[in-house]
A = this chain, B = another copy of it.
Amino acid sequence: MAETSLIFPAEEFQARLKRLQTEMSGRGLDALLLTTPGDSFYVTGFLTRFWESPARPWFLAVPVTGEPVAVIPSVGQALMERTWITQIRTWDAPHPDDDGVTLLSDTICSLLGEGASIGVPMGLETHLRMPLADLDRVAKRIAPRRFVDGSEPIQRTREIKSEAEIEKIRATCDIAARAFGRVPEVATSGAPLDRVFRDFQAILLDEGADWVSYLAGGAGQGGYTDVISPASTRALQSGDVMMLDTGAVKDGYFCDFDRNFAIGPASDLVKRTHHALWHATEDTLNNLQPGMRARDAHRLLSDGLKARGTKPGGGRLGHGLGINLTEWPSFTPLDETELREGMVLTLEPVAATEQGRILVHEENIVLRADGAELISPRAPEDLPEIS
């Protein structure tokens, strides 16, 4: 299938590798061992929905100098050969006795001297996508080389998006924006919410999403109580506010923003709360700057809500975005991560209405030298009404 091209030219990946290796070098790491779909796609361009199967581990060894080595199940060889990666070693997985352990260990030993420190992402917002017992087996086989925490280099590299990445995220945002514009086609009063969820996903696909990895939302009188449940079969009715929050994917890059709709006329409280969310976001768009911390974004959004007499909801009020639906940092009062030029972020203020109900608003931005640039087409200031 040579007709399928890479999503980016090799130069894009070479530039990423160079930045990643600089981060590794600055922290005294001799290599990184990466196991997740996001980290693998970032370095190699290897994009497949096959990760949905938890059966097989996939490894990428990234030395501090030289090219990455993919150590992968043979089912992935043809696709990996179409990426810019040239060092590919395969085994027939799943193998009940040795599911890549020997091949990965031998690869690490052939690449690195005995004193080597190999970073594995172990920190906040990471996980290891391979059997834990196999990591221990590899650790024993590669000793005295040792595994250490490798979260920092991969997170500090991935969090700064290239212009090519920003254009991909913007393209996915544009798909979602067109789909949100078509919500009145399907979200009429009397439509069951689960039907609306299915129809909206179909609209996203029709507008060009490759797939829809995330759709959440809610609907209820004067707000919603919960934004992570699957859609209920309850029919939309006048007085409801319905919210749809989507993480559609195009070329491996997510959007993550939402839109609210009033089903029939909204109450004054709902209108006022939506206004507060919109203007708190506007304040933050106007004031966010590189050099601030993640907690400053939380403060700007919270203060913007309070200034309009609205109570901020709990939890984080935004986060990173890109290859994953959510990436670090998190806009909480505690996150000290520096906000830097090139970060793609979501602003996601949450406000209480009444009786435990909330409204959530969300936009996607890229942080530039002079401040925030919207990449999701801006929501209307006034809550749109569907009759």
Interface residues of A (CB under 8 A from B): 1, 3-4, 36, 38, 47-50, 52-55, 57, 74-76, 78-79, 82, 92, 94-97, 99, 120-133, 135, 149, 194, 197-199, 201-202, 205-206, 208-216, 218, 220, 224-226, 228-234, 247, 314-316, 319, 324-326, 328, 330, 332, 334-336
Contact = CB atoms under 8 A, between A and B. Distances in A.
11 contacts: A1-B225, A47-B230, A54-B125, A94-B330, A99-B124, A122-B132, A133-B149, A198-B209, A201-B201, A201-B212, A202-B205
Contact of A124 (B50, B53, B131, B234): B131
Contacts of A212: 201, 211-212
Copies of this chain assembled into the complex: 2
Nearest to A220: B1
Contact of A205 (B3, B121, B199, B225): B199
Contact of A48 (B149, B206, B228): B228
A1 B334 contact: no
A220 B2 CA distance: 11
The 8 A-B pairs at the shortest CB distance, nearest first, are namely A202-B202, A122-B133, A53-B326, A122-B132, A50-B228, A4-B232, A198-B205, A78-B226
A202 B126 CA distance: 32
A379 to B, nearest CB: 21
A226 B128 CA distance: 27
A169 to B, nearest CB: 16
Contacts of A209: 198
Contact of A131 (B52, B126, B130, B215): B126
